[in-house]
């Protein structure tokens, strides 16, 4: 097994009655990854993560965390993992500080300075004495992440961390996740349906659908393999259309723009040819996103 793998899943199966929730999934997460775990609702994401956390047992297959097989009743592997599955739940009538103190005592931790450190790490130190009932959704999510960091894990699992947040809250959450990954050197798995979020922060990802793995790999590599939608704005769409036809490039006219399907590596060459032919171009914009790749794979 590769020494850089912090999590490896081999041929995982889980059925509930006749329903196959997870069907022969294998994947791995490297140390240092921000790993996107993608799939539509009901794809098997939560079931897989619950098996990783030992909350449910697989029918078949193996899960290794830091090269240790987690099958059986030994729960020591959980010392290496922090998790925020579904929405964080706290005592609303208690402060952020008091909530973390309770979790700290329940976890039998020894360094109480850690409570103050994690509040700082998630930018909640100034709100530490405020009752959680008055927290915004974004503040609750950050307190949930503080909870996952209390025992200094090497891997944290975040289930829909941007759920219910406004665009600014999503940007703040992205920044926090990147900081935890880079500065604290913690590997992060993010299960999300907000695909643009994964595209912005993940370096590797897996897409699953109907309990089966569709693909896994480096985000940039997966994106580069696909044809990109490129939008051209031109004052002479007829001339541009004629050029694209001679180059056998598929395109469609949309309002005042022409949307062409071009392989990423070919884009500079196509633009060079357009300028050589003096076709007026006022704007070139990449449109293809991870969302389109995802929808194409799971439709």
How many other CB atoms sit within 10 Å of the CB of residue 259? 16
For residues 14-34, average pLDDT: 96
Q: Are 122 and 78 in contact (CB under 8 A)?
A: no
Q: Between vectors from CA 187 to CA 120 and to CA 35, what angle results, nearest 5°? A: 120
Tokens of 66: 């830091």
> Which residue segments constitute the domains of the chain, with CATH numbers given?
5-223 (3.40.50.300), 226-298 (3.30.70.980)
Helix and strand counts by DSSP (H, E) for the chain: 10, 14
Instruction: Give φ, ψ of 274 to 5 degrees.
Output: -65, -45
CA distance 83 to 153: 10
β partners of residue 23: 13
Contacts of residue 148, Cβ cutoff 8 Å, sequence gap at least 6 = 82, 83, 84, 156, 157, 158
Tell me what pLDDT residue 2 has. Answer: 46
pLDDT at 30 over 90: yes
Q: Are 154 and 186 in contact (CB under 8 A)?
A: yes
Tell me what pLDDT residue 12 has. Answer: 97
CA distance 194 to 26: 23
Tell me what pLDDT residue 23 has. Answer: 96
Of 69, 67, 90, 65, nearest to 79 by C-alpha is 65
Q: Are 189 and 6 in contact (CB under 8 A)?
A: no
C-alpha dihedral (108, 109, 110, 114), degrees to nearest 10: -150
pLDDT at 200 over 90: no
How many other CB atoms sit within 10 Å of the CB of residue 56? 15
How many other CB atoms sit within 10 Å of the CB of residue 277? 12
pLDDT at 3 over 60: no
- Angle of helix 137-149 relative to helix 96-106, nearest 10 degrees? 30
Q: Between vectors from CA 185 to CA 184 and to CA 190, what angle results, nearest 5°? A: 100
The single residue listed with the structure tokens 């309002």 is 255
Q: pTM value? A: 0.80
Percent of the chain with pLDDT over 70: 94
Percent of the chain with pLDDT over 90: 63
Tell me what pLDDT residue 78 has. Answer: 82
């Amino acid at each position: 097994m590769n020494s850089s793998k912090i999590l490896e899943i081999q041929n995982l199966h889980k059925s509930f009655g006749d329903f196959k929730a997870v069907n022969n999934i294998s994947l791995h997460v490297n140390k240092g990854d921000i790993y996107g775990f993608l799939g539509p609702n009901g794809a098997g994401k939560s079931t897989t993560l619950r098996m990783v956390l030992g909350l449910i047992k697989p029918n078949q297959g193996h899960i290794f965390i830091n090269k240790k097989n987690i099958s059986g009743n030994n729960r020591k592997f959980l010392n290496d993992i922090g998790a925020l599955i579904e929405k964080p739940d706290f005592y609303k009538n208690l402060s952020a500080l008091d909530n973390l103190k309770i979790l700290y005592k329940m976890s039998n931790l020894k360094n109480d300075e850690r409570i103050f450190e994690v509040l700082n790490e998630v930018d909640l130190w100034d709100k530490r004495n405020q009752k959680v009932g008055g927290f915004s959704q974004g503040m609750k999510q950050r307190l949930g992440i503080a909870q996952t960091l209390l025992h200094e894990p090497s891997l944290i699992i975040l289930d829909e961390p941007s759920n219910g947040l406004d665009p600014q809250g999503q940007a703040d959450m992205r920044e926090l996740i990147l900081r935890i990954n880079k500065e604290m050197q913690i590997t992060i798995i993010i299960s999300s349906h907000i695909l643009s979020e994964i595209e912005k922060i993940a370096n590797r990802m897996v897409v699953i659908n109907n309990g089966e793995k569709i693909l896994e790999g480096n985000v940039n590599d997966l994106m580069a393999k696909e044809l990109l939608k490129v939008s051209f704005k031109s004052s002479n769409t007829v001339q541009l259309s004629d050029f694209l036809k001679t180059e056998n490039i598929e395109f469609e006219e949309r309002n005042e723009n022409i949307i062409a399907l071009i392989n990423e590596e070919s884009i500079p060459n196509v633009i060079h040819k357009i300028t050589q032919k003096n076709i007026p171009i006022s704007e070139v914009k990449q449109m293809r996103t991870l969302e389109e790749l995802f929808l194409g794979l799971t439709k």
